[in-house]
Chain A
Amino acid sequence: MSAHTSDVLIVGGGLMGTSTAFFLRRRGMSVTLLERGLVGQQASGTNFGNVRRQARYLLQLPLANRSLGIWQRLPELIGEDLEFLPSGHIRVAYTQDQAGVLEQYARDARDYGLELELIGGAALRARYPFLGPEVRAASLSPHDGHANPRLAAPAFGRAAIRAGAHIAENTEVLEVARDGTAFRASCADGRVYRAPVALIASGAWGDRMSAAFGEPVPLTARGPQMAVTEPVPYRIGPTVGVASQLLQETIYFRQIKRGNIIFGGCGRGPAYPDLRRAYVLPEHTLTQFDQLKRLAPAVARLNIIRVWSGIEGYMDDNLPVMGASRAVSGLYYAFGFSGHGFQLGPGVGDVMAELIATGNTSTPIAPFDIGRFAAASKELPARATTGTQSPAGSAAVPCQQR
């Protein structure tokens, strides 16, 4: 076997790819990960950093629970601190309708092992004095929190390397093709990597790979709209987000120990996968200002010092593609996390490693099977070649809290 052959070949060095590499090594499988740029540069490194289970699609909670278990074992597991602060996550409502949504979700989530605490009235003001007068109710998920996305994928990558994985950065994969019984990845620099198993974990670029294997999916590239304030004394514990049907109302924020307040939401910006850049639209920043004043008036006394974005892949149904290919044996997918993959990342890696090593998973992931698009795929106009140079503006998708 040449140095360029391994048990598993992973395409994409985001949090999904690096954590899978790490957990595959713990299961004793050899693994090569190919990354076009540097590990964790796109969605994994530029997202909000929410380690949040509440408000997720209910059938995703088992995976989110498993992932939280891993977050709670950091840094013991990977030897590095990702600045995970399990300081809770509150989701707030401005209207009675939305308060009702929070209540219903709390009832439903209990069946999936997620206990939420509903808070209203004077108790809400007492506990979270920074919330604006329009906030009527809140739902607290006490064990959730936030972490530093800039550190996460690189740290998992380094842990994977220490555990024996081979990670090739600045390695542009031109094509992954089935070559007899193995997969063959041809790179722009002429290198060729082979493995009997391949995992496509290439985020917003995943649709092109799946389409090349005859499994097109409806994916659109978009950019989160993030900003950060100058540092102020650390006062705000939990991550805070708004539950709303209106995308423009869905501001969310968190304060890091350094003191800066990070916020995002209210819209998604344009992303250009071919240029590997996504941009923040100035109007989104100004909308965020208005919504932040409403949600936490005191924060309006601060200045922002930077905005940023990154390329994220959104599926039409806002659920990821995760699991085995329906078309090609030995091929697996973990991409299209639709702006809510950060919390899931370590769990996805653990589950994908389990699936690849054993053929099964102890955590249900059937809702994310790529087969859900098979019926519709005939109607899809070659999605694998679209998604680049996307038009600007907000995606017409249901509001999802990050």
Chain B
Amino acid sequence: MVGPRIVVVGTGPAGVRCAEQLVAAGIRPVVIDEGGRDGGQIYRRQPPNFRRGYADLYGSEAAKADALHRAFDALRDRIDYHPGTLAWNVTEGELHLMRDGAAWRAPYDALIVCAGATDRLMPVKGWQHAGTYSLGAAQVALKSQACSVGRRVVFLGSGPLLYLVAAQYLKAGAAIGAVLDTARLSDRVAALPRLLARPGVLRNGLSYIAALRRAGVPLLSGVTPVEITGDAARGVDGIVVRDGAGRERRFDCDAVAMGYHLRPETQLADLARCAFRFDAEARQWFPEVSLEGRSSVKGVYLAGDGARILGADGAENAGRLAALSALADLGLPVDRARVAALLREQGVMERFRRGLVRAFPWPAGQAADLADDAIVCRCECITAGELRRTVREMGAAEANRAKAFSRVGMGRCQGRYCGQAGAEVVAHAAAVPLEQVGRLRGQAPVKPLAIATREETQ
């Protein structure tokens, strides 16, 4: 008997729990992983020849990481696992894949996308200098390769990852110049009622801050970034911000790790033609998805931070729920009580998510104030001034229009890193609500695709 063909993309917390749930139902899913090893970003595994322990690598989350890795190891011979594989396109009923220069297709009856998230970035003058990293990239360097992105690193931005990565760098013995948070303390206080939905997670976050404070790291809240200083030849040499009181402060460093919470990786959902909705509170577009993981497209399910930013624990639940939804939609039996219990837990995760959005607001105003000579799109070297000119002189008040006229978002990253900030710049210059600017339409390939790629004949 041939069962339904279910393809899972991603082996982070959502993907692993999703595959596990499918295997428990007697399915042998196809599991696609862009990375070389399972674990996703948060539970990223070190290369096989590295020997650090779980406590070193994952700290307070060591037990969860261990459990997830064991769960995946137990699945290995009951799934068709494809590591190092890029899902570069989606058409109806087929996922298009590429590995080692060979392209092939995975037909599916159900596609469950657990693609995760990347840092949400806001440009700052000088962020093109070598030595500017996203928080996620700084964390990858540490987790995967056991190295720091610089000799003296300043952490800039907002969101839980800001303190987490800084604390991890501290623990690894790196020199930290400062942790500069654009959110105000009052934002965090206002978010407390929602954040108390998950007191353990809140406690963890506070412990990172306490550890940084004990180590004497300057911790500033309510800062306004002014400039990452340096030059093209030598890279970053410092950062200038205005503190909460309006005073300009400079911190020397040779690397900046920055990020403003997360943005979901939505290209596969977009290519699968899923509908999107604007989240006014988070000021970003998310794919439309039910708590059970159903997208607007029949047979396409979305789970984890690629759908909405609920964090690792929420992703595990979301992966299970999406699997259960797919099974139910394929006419297979599903434990309804289990679904109900997972949904209840997700309610708590959702409340906490909204707390984080409140505690660490996306600093939209920075886009409005961005100097004309600051670069918005690093791939294409397009400045805020050039983008504003396309709005004012060429009438581009829509995201794709502004991209077409200015090249913002037209480079290698396809707007994954500058798209949201670019939309803010356009909205402000055109004096229209952000929602009206829309979002960049996703196009294949999901990541750059080698022309040398050959179609594999099966």
User: Would you give the 0/1 interface string for A200-211, flagging 1 where the beta carbon is closer than 8 Å to chain B?
Assistant: 000000000000
Given contacts A305-B412, A307-B445, are A292 and B404 in contact (CB under 8 A)? Answer: no
Q: Are A305 and B452 in contact (CB under 8 A)?
A: no
Given contacts A151-B405, A158-B394, A282-B89, are A305 and B448 in contact (CB under 8 A)? Answer: yes
Query: Within 8 Å CB of B412, what residues of A?
Result: 230, 305
Given contacts A150-B405, A302-B451, are A285 and B444 in contact (CB under 8 A)? Answer: yes
Instruction: Tell me the chain B residues, 270-312 only, with Cβ under 8 Å from chain A.
Output: none
Q: Are A303 and B395 in contact (CB under 8 A)?
A: no
Q: B449 near A: Cβ within 8 Å? A: yes
Q: Are B451 and A38 in contact (CB under 8 A)?
A: no
Classify chain A's interface size: 20 to 34
Q: A85 near B: Cβ within 8 Å? A: no
Q: B103 near A: Cβ within 8 Å? A: yes
Q: Are B405 and A281 in contact (CB under 8 A)?
A: no
Q: A45 near B: Cβ within 8 Å? A: yes
Q: Are B455 and A280 in contact (CB under 8 A)?
A: no
Compute how far the CA of A304 lies from the CA of B452 in the bound complex, rounded to whole angstroms: 10
Q: B443 near A: Cβ within 8 Å? A: yes
CB < 8 Å neighbour of B452 from A151, A158, A293: A293
Q: Are B450 and A303 in contact (CB under 8 A)?
A: yes
Q: Are B449 and A304 in contact (CB under 8 A)?
A: yes
Q: Are B443 and A286 in contact (CB under 8 A)?
A: no
Q: B20 near A: Cβ within 8 Å? A: no
CB < 8 Å neighbour of A305 from B394, B395, B414: B414
CB < 8 Å neighbour of B405 from A154, A282, A283: A154
Given contacts A158-B395, A282-B89, A289-B453, are A303 and B405 in contact (CB under 8 A)? Answer: no
Query: Within 8 Å CB of B450, what residues of A?
Result: 302-303
User: Would you give the 0/1 interface string for A294-329, flagging 1 where the beta carbon is closer than 8 Å to chain B?
Assistant: 000001111111111000000000000000000000
Compute how far the CA of A106 lies from the CA of B404 in the bound complex, rounded to whole angstroms: 36
Q: B401 near A: Cβ within 8 Å? A: yes
Distance to closest chain A CB from B106 (angstroms): 12
Q: B398 near A: Cβ within 8 Å? A: yes
Q: B411 near A: Cβ within 8 Å? A: yes
Q: B188 near A: Cβ within 8 Å? A: no
Q: Are B414 and A299 in contact (CB under 8 A)?
A: no
Q: A98 near B: Cβ within 8 Å? A: no
Query: Within 8 Å CB of A306, what residues of B?
Result: 410, 414, 443-445
Q: B186 near A: Cβ within 8 Å? A: no
Query: Within 8 Å CB of A230, what residues of B?
Result: 411-412, 448
Instruction: Tell me the chain A residues, 332-370 only, with Cβ under 8 Å from chain B.
Output: none
Given contacts A38-B398, A150-B405, are A308 and B451 in contact (CB under 8 A)? Answer: no
Q: Are A303 and B96 in contact (CB under 8 A)?
A: no
Instruction: Tell me the chain B residues, 409-457 only, with Cβ under 8 Å from chain A.
Output: 410-412, 414, 443-445, 448-455
Given contacts A305-B414, A306-B414, A307-B445, are A286 and B398 in contact (CB under 8 A)? Answer: no
Q: Output the nearest chain A residue to B94 by Cβ-Cβ distance.
A: A282
Q: Are B405 and A307 in contact (CB under 8 A)?
A: no
Compute how far the CA of A45 lies from the CA of B89 in the bound complex, rounded to whole angstroms: 23
Query: Within 8 Å CB of B91, what residues of A?
Result: 281-282
Query: Within 8 Å CB of B449, what residues of A?
Result: 285, 303-304
Distance to closest chain A CB from B87 (angstroms): 11
Q: Are B445 and A301 in contact (CB under 8 A)?
A: no
Q: Are B443 and A38 in contact (CB under 8 A)?
A: no
Q: A229 near B: Cβ within 8 Å? A: yes
User: Would you give the 0/1 interface string for B88-111, flagging 1 where the beta carbon is closer than 8 Å to chain A?
Assistant: 110100001000000101000000
Compute how far the CA of A231 lies from the CA of B454 in the bound complex, rounded to whole angstroms: 22
Most chain A CB inside 10 Å of its own CB: which residue of B404, B407, B454: B404
Q: Are B452 and A150 in contact (CB under 8 A)?
A: no
Compute how far the CA of A154 lies from the CA of B390 in the bound complex, rounded to whole angstroms: 12
Q: Output the nearest chain A residue to B445 by Cβ-Cβ distance.
A: A304
Compute how far the CA of A258 lies from the CA of B414 in the bound complex, rounded to whole angstroms: 16
User: Would you give the 0/1 interface string for B374-415, flagging 1 where the beta carbon is closer than 8 Å to chain A?
Assistant: 000000100000000000001100100100110100111010
Distance to closest chain A CB from B436 (angstroms): 12
User: Would you give the 0/1 interface string for A272-289, flagging 1 where the beta carbon is closer than 8 Å to chain B?
Assistant: 000000001111011001
Q: Output the nearest chain A residue to B455 by Cβ-Cβ distance.
A: A286
Q: Are A229 and B451 in contact (CB under 8 A)?
A: yes
Compute how far the CA of A45 lies from the CA of B412 in the bound complex, rounded to whole angstroms: 21
Q: Are B404 and A286 in contact (CB under 8 A)?
A: no
Compute how far the CA of A199 lies from the CA of B407 in the bound complex, rounded to whole angstroms: 33
User: Would you give the 0/1 interface string for A177-197, flagging 1 where the beta carbon is closer than 8 Å to chain B?
Assistant: 000000000000000000000
Query: Within 8 Å CB of B407, what residues of A?
Result: 258
Query: Within 8 Å CB of B398, what residues of A?
Result: 38
Selected A-B contacts with CB under 8 Å, 6 pairs: A38-B401, A154-B405, A231-B411, A285-B444, A290-B454, A293-B451
* A-B contact sample (18 more), CB < 8 A, given A38-B398, A230-B448: A38-B401, A151-B404, A154-B394, A154-B405, A158-B394, A230-B412, A231-B411, A280-B444, A285-B444, A286-B453, A289-B451, A293-B451, A293-B452, A301-B452, A304-B448, A304-B451, A305-B445, A306-B414
Closest 10 CB pairs of A and B: A303-B448, A150-B404, A282-B96, A282-B89, A286-B455, A300-B451, A289-B451, A306-B443, A300-B452, A307-B444
